[in-house]
Chains A and B, each alone.
Chain A
């Protein structure tokens, strides 16, 4: 479940083990990974800011969009309370990932000294610029240094941090082996509490995604919503279907088993809402009932006519559910005024008024049950065994 994953990120690493790693994998049909990523990012920042998380700081490697987009997704309240640099550090790999701006500006500097070039890479207090994402060692050191930067402001010796990133971008420039090494190095570092990354599953070969799953402890596959035939509403056009989907969470447990859970999600303006999966059995009650009858040699099903007749049978038992007291014909004239003259089997009105009329005419299609009660003092629905009074 999504809350379980958020808790996992919050609780962080257990002593003696490597940090838990969560991987989000989506595809073209859903494209919901950024929204879910933002959801987990927001929950993690709120946990860290409130001090509930094991980690004291968060390091984000911004590959998909500008660092400001990450900070703006935080609550405005939280922003006013504490500056983003307080517990959030960004490694900006978006602005100048391959160092082109740097090289251009370096060439310009040589050419025209007097020109003031705008500082595009203003590394502010909370973001560090990375000029070369093809060098993973330097990226690793930048990430760790940013994390340690948080530690310094807190004056704490041992602190843990998280790192979030979009791996598909890195995979353009690096081989799978290098990326998995990078991720394993982060996981095994003693100051990393948890790790999360996003991969677009259909951009890469199956073995690449499998290698990343090999490193991760929890894998969340984002799949589009399953539409059953006959359930498609006309109003649901393509744009709306992307707001819905299912997540399949596979968690590797310590005893070697794998826990798989499915949940539905819906993307709204305020965030992502998760709901448990509506099973087919709930949606199609009648269908499921029929399928649950085992196939044996005799026919257990009812045809429509049989079902109708069954519902018409008037049951002469004590409670029909009307709330009125029911009197049963027991072969003796009733002391209370009874309407038995009209051959009502059940006194006090019947559920099916048409039966009253039809009983008088005695058609063959209506079922009748004649119940003669044995003894007067037998209370209705008593649990006494009728054989108890035998003297053997």
Chain B
């Protein structure tokens, strides 16, 4: 029998070597994205929606961090806004029982683990369900299905792709027991060869899980080029470490999040670091009591900082994805939830202030620059 010869075979099957090289990863917390890449959540719902892969399906599927990808966050030296991003990333990994590797220049990384947020409680949802139950007077036949629905929701809750986290509460201790967490402190300087070795061992341990029980590992590096870390290595050694790490990630079931203060590097080094990233995000501080910004943005008092998307992942594809909105505002809602919102510009008041700030209405109502007569508009 002649076998059908096909020139292109779609990479959709589950393979042993996971990550971006193979097909989809069947693991807790991972969902298939497009271009044959699996996605894991970053921990922040809004950030996942900002990271889509270009596909109409992705609007339904949503986005996330591709498995095997490297996310880099450029810190602002004046504000600690990269810390919540790290916390959500790590907390999401804990909830999905994903192994975690954490390196930081803090002297005690375990103390940082204590600041991870807990999952927001769902008590409000349950209360509304009960009230709905009482309300079913006409459709009373469906009352018995309500309970089943509730039980199904509870079970699915554990395996939600992206959980809601509550910043006020620390993560439950039960999540830490049985979780594979490796911490490294870089307070005495980053000894890069041993650090790379630890990463290699961590990632190779992930490969042991095959088939149905595959696990996606998460590596988190905080402030990787902080001065404390750089005292024992040169810029080029650090770059070499990053390249090795990226090559390790590509052929494995792991994602990495690295935050680094870009202004503390020389400009050429900073650009090289930025080119290495699959997803590049930067956080910026916002000035307090800035009248101009207060006039431009409606919710200026609530904004903690700005998040800018520079680059989105284009693994297994030639076409780069361009984000819809480059800049988002980070806000904490009711002190417990971090949201990323598009910037809302205040309605322009053409009568006040300089014509520059009242420009939009002036431009709309004024005549075009090269109009010959004042009556043209």
- A and B held together in a complex: yes
A303 at the interface (CB under 8 A from B): no
The interface residues of chain B lying within 8 Å CB-to-CB of A214 are 77, 226-227, 261, 264
Asked whether, in the complex, the Cβ of A292 is within 8 Å of the Cβ of B354, the reply is: yes
Asked whether, in the complex, the Cβ of A207 is within 8 Å of the Cβ of B265, the reply is: yes
The interface residues of chain B lying within 8 Å CB-to-CB of A184 are 228
A114 at the interface (CB under 8 A from B): no
Asked whether, in the complex, the Cβ of B264 is within 8 Å of the Cβ of A258, the reply is: no
With both chains docked as a complex, state the minimum distance between the C-beta of B98 and any C-beta of chain A, in angstroms.
28
Asked whether, in the complex, the Cβ of B354 is within 8 Å of the Cβ of A291, the reply is: yes
Q: Mark A156-172, 1 if CB is under 8 A from B, else 0.
A: 00000000000000000
Asked if A294 meets B358 with Cβ closer than 8 Å, knowing A211-B264, A214-B77, A256-B305, the reply is yes
With both chains docked as a complex, state the minimum distance between the C-beta of A372 and any C-beta of chain B, in angstroms.
34
Looking at A21-29, A92-100, A174-182, the stretch in contact with chain B turns out to be: A174-182
A382 at the interface (CB under 8 A from B): no
A337 at the interface (CB under 8 A from B): no
Asked if A253 meets B288 with Cβ closer than 8 Å, knowing A177-B231, A210-B263, A297-B374, the reply is yes
Asked whether, in the complex, the Cβ of B264 is within 8 Å of the Cβ of A207, the reply is: yes
B177 at the interface (CB under 8 A from A): no
Asked if A260 meets B79 with Cβ closer than 8 Å, knowing A184-B228, A294-B351, the reply is no
Asked if A292 meets B264 with Cβ closer than 8 Å, knowing A184-B228, A214-B227, the reply is no
Asked whether, in the complex, the Cβ of B288 is within 8 Å of the Cβ of A295, the reply is: no
Asked whether, in the complex, the Cβ of A256 is within 8 Å of the Cβ of B354, the reply is: no
Asked whether, in the complex, the Cβ of B355 is within 8 Å of the Cβ of A256, the reply is: no
Partner of B79, one of A178, A205, A257: A257
Q: Mark B281-321, 1 if CB is under 8 A from A, else 0.
A: 00001111110000000000000110000000000000000
Asked whether, in the complex, the Cβ of B77 is within 8 Å of the Cβ of A210, the reply is: yes
Asked whether, in the complex, the Cβ of A294 is within 8 Å of the Cβ of B355, the reply is: yes
Q: Mark B250-292, 1 if CB is under 8 A from A, else 0.
A: 0000000000010111100000000000000000011111100
Asked whether, in the complex, the Cβ of A296 is within 8 Å of the Cβ of B365, the reply is: yes
Docked pose: A253 CA to B285 CA in angstroms: 10
With both chains docked as a complex, state the minimum distance between the C-beta of B374 and any C-beta of chain A, in angstroms.
6
Residue on A with the closest CB to B79? A256
The interface residues of chain A lying within 8 Å CB-to-CB of B343 are none
A200 at the interface (CB under 8 A from B): no
Asked whether, in the complex, the Cβ of B264 is within 8 Å of the Cβ of A257, the reply is: no
Docked pose: A248 CA to B226 CA in angstroms: 25
A213 at the interface (CB under 8 A from B): yes
With both chains docked as a complex, state the minimum distance between the C-beta of B186 and any C-beta of chain A, in angstroms.
12
Residue on B with the closest CB to A255? B304
The interface residues of chain A lying within 8 Å CB-to-CB of B350 are 294, 296
A259 at the interface (CB under 8 A from B): yes
Nearest 9 CB-CB pairings of A with B: A177-B231, A180-B227, A257-B288, A259-B288, A256-B79, A214-B77, A177-B227, A210-B263, A295-B355
A86 at the interface (CB under 8 A from B): no
Docked pose: A292 CA to B362 CA in angstroms: 13
Question: Which residues of B from 335 to 362 have beta carbons under 8 Å from A?
Answer: 350-351, 353-355, 358, 362
The interface residues of chain A lying within 8 Å CB-to-CB of B351 are 294
Residues of chain A whose beta carbon lies under 8 Å from any beta carbon of chain B: 175-178, 180-181, 184, 205-207, 210-211, 213-215, 250, 252-253, 255-260, 291-297
Docked pose: A207 CA to B355 CA in angstroms: 38
Docked pose: A293 CA to B353 CA in angstroms: 8
Asked whether, in the complex, the Cβ of B367 is within 8 Å of the Cβ of A211, the reply is: no
Partner of B80, one of A215, A256, A291: A256
Docked pose: A61 CA to B11 CA in angstroms: 66
Asked whether, in the complex, the Cβ of A259 is within 8 Å of the Cβ of B261, the reply is: no
With both chains docked as a complex, state the minimum distance between the C-beta of A211 and any C-beta of chain B, in angstroms.
5
Docked pose: A180 CA to B304 CA in angstroms: 27
Residue on A with the closest CB to B375? A297
Asked whether, in the complex, the Cβ of A258 is within 8 Å of the Cβ of B228, the reply is: no
Docked pose: A128 CA to B362 CA in angstroms: 68
Asked whether, in the complex, the Cβ of B77 is within 8 Å of the Cβ of A213, the reply is: yes
Asked whether, in the complex, the Cβ of B285 is within 8 Å of the Cβ of A256, the reply is: yes
Docked pose: A254 CA to B305 CA in angstroms: 13
B81 at the interface (CB under 8 A from A): yes
Asked whether, in the complex, the Cβ of B264 is within 8 Å of the Cβ of A181, the reply is: no
Partner of B231, one of A178, A205, A206, A210: A178
30 A/B residue pairs, CB under 8 Å, sorted by A: A177-B230, A178-B231, A180-B228, A184-B228, A206-B263, A210-B261, A211-B227, A214-B77, A214-B226, A214-B261, A214-B264, A250-B78, A252-B79, A253-B288, A256-B79, A256-B286, A257-B287, A257-B288, A258-B79, A258-B286, A258-B288, A259-B287, A259-B289, A292-B353, A294-B350, A294-B355, A295-B366, A296-B365, A296-B366, A297-B367
With both chains docked as a complex, state the minimum distance between the C-beta of A262 and any C-beta of chain B, in angstroms.
12
Which residue, of B227, B265, B287, B304, has the highest number of chain A Cβ atoms within 10 A? B227
Asked whether, in the complex, the Cβ of A257 is within 8 Å of the Cβ of B286, the reply is: yes
Asked whether, in the complex, the Cβ of B231 is within 8 Å of the Cβ of A175, the reply is: yes
Asked whether, in the complex, the Cβ of B362 is within 8 Å of the Cβ of A296, the reply is: yes
The interface residues of chain B lying within 8 Å CB-to-CB of A295 are 355, 362, 366
Residue on A with the closest CB to B75? A214
In the complex, given contacts A180-B228, A294-B362, what are 18 additional A-B residue pairs having Cβ atoms less than 8 angstroms apart? A177-B189, A207-B263, A211-B227, A213-B77, A214-B226, A215-B227, A250-B78, A256-B81, A256-B286, A256-B304, A258-B78, A258-B79, A258-B285, A260-B290, A291-B354, A295-B355, A296-B366, A297-B365
The interface residues of chain A lying within 8 Å CB-to-CB of B358 are 294
Asked whether, in the complex, the Cβ of A252 is within 8 Å of the Cβ of B287, the reply is: no
Residue on B with the closest CB to A293? B355
The interface residues of chain A lying within 8 Å CB-to-CB of B226 are 214
Asked whether, in the complex, the Cβ of B366 is within 8 Å of the Cβ of A297, the reply is: yes
Residue on A with the closest CB to B270? A207
Docked pose: A177 CA to B234 CA in angstroms: 11
Docked pose: A195 CA to B81 CA in angstroms: 24
Asked whether, in the complex, the Cβ of A257 is within 8 Å of the Cβ of B261, the reply is: no
The interface residues of chain B lying within 8 Å CB-to-CB of A180 are 227-228
Docked pose: A104 CA to B263 CA in angstroms: 44
Docked pose: A81 CA to B366 CA in angstroms: 73
